[in-house]
Amino acid sequence: MGKNIPGPDAALDNNAVAPDYARRLAGPMGVDAFNRQIREQRYTQLANQFSDTERTWLCSTHALAKLLMPQCSALDSIDIYSQAYLVRLTDMLHKSDRLAVDLVQEQLIRGATIRFRNLEKQIPSSQIFAAAVGSVFHGQTTINAYLTPGGQNGFPPHFDNTDVFVIQIIGSKHWTLFEHYSHRMALPLGDVAWDPEKYQPDDSGTSLVMTPGDVLYIPRGGMHTAGCTEDFSLHLTVSLESEPMLDRLQLLMREWANHNLTARQRVPEDRQQTKDQLVHLAADFFNWLQLQGNHDNSVQPEPISQQQMVDKFNGILTSLAQTVPKPKG
């Protein structure tokens, strides 16, 4: 565990504290080793990473209570999950003349989970912490908080399209992690829609318990579910959206296409002509990419020929040619 620090109301250099807290999400192995050995590969639990005062800085019920004040803009970012339904708090408020804090209290008594979204936009310390996590792990970061009464389950088995760090703030929670589920795809892209009928656990999963100060890393696409033990629970999910290689490749291809007329032309109606042009374009893009990476070198790489590209990507191109739609007529 790291050193204790003053609570959120004391004078401290938040910008100095936050990077240390962000690095602690990787555990004692350090960020570089975490990126090589754990990230995007497997779940991992790190015990007792944050002290009481450190967790209070990260999030507290006092800070969340302020978000329930009348006319607070954060009310639009609060959800109620109860009996398999997710409802916005503001929708409930529109049908009632009650205070938000009273509705939340009532729902908690009934066993609902309360979700506070995008704390980085509402709480100064969360904003600083999110920025630090994004800087340390090179990604866009959002932070949600979840309040769940003792003995109650949260969301059913699901996966996220981002990497997630779970930080247990108060109480304890029982988690089940599923390595195997139907139609599983490792590292799904951001546009993969969640479908509870399509994605179902294939086994009973692996169980663990999160206690205050623990951190759980879940790679994107990792199916999971959680429920409270006898204790009331507050935990954070720190979502990390990293740039996939596909996005970088698309940016490079668009830059290359600005210098290649054929790449900007329409797809031919003839299937064989389409395949031939794809082979030629792939070779041209590969050569351009090599030149971009070696523009400072005195010796330029040997350009790849069209026939070499055919040999290299024959299987891919054959499959692609079969999927080219036939012209309508």
Mean pLDDT for the stretch of residues 253-277: 94
Closest CA to 88 of 118, 61, 117, 108: 117
The pLDDT tens digits for 227-249 are 888 788 999 999 999 999 999 99
What angle, 0 to 180 degrees and rounded to 10, lies between the N-to-C axes of helices 14-24 and 124-137? 50
The pLDDT tens digits for 21-73 are 999 999 999 999 999 999 999 999 999 999 999 999 999 999 999 999 998 99
The pLDDT tens digits for 121-177 are 999 999 999 999 999 999 999 999 999 998 888 788 989 999 999 999 999 999 999
Please give the structure tokens belonging to residue 54: 């450190």
Query: What's the N-to-C CA distance of the chain in angstroms?
Result: 70
- Long-range residue pairs from 37-43, CB within 8 A, at least 24 positions apart, any chain: 38/217, 39/163, 39/217, 39/219, 40/163, 40/187, 40/219, 40/220, 41/219, 42/219, 43/177, 43/206, 43/216, 43/217, 43/218, 43/219, 43/222
Sketch out the chain's domains with CATH numbers: 14-242 (2.60.120.650), 246-323 (no CATH)
More confident residue, 6 or 204: 204
Proportion of the chain above pLDDT 90, given as a percent? 72
Mean pLDDT for the stretch of residues 282-307: 70
User: What's the whole-model pTM score?
Assistant: 0.82
Q: Mean pLDDT check: name the lowest of 66-70, 113-117, 324-328.
A: 324-328
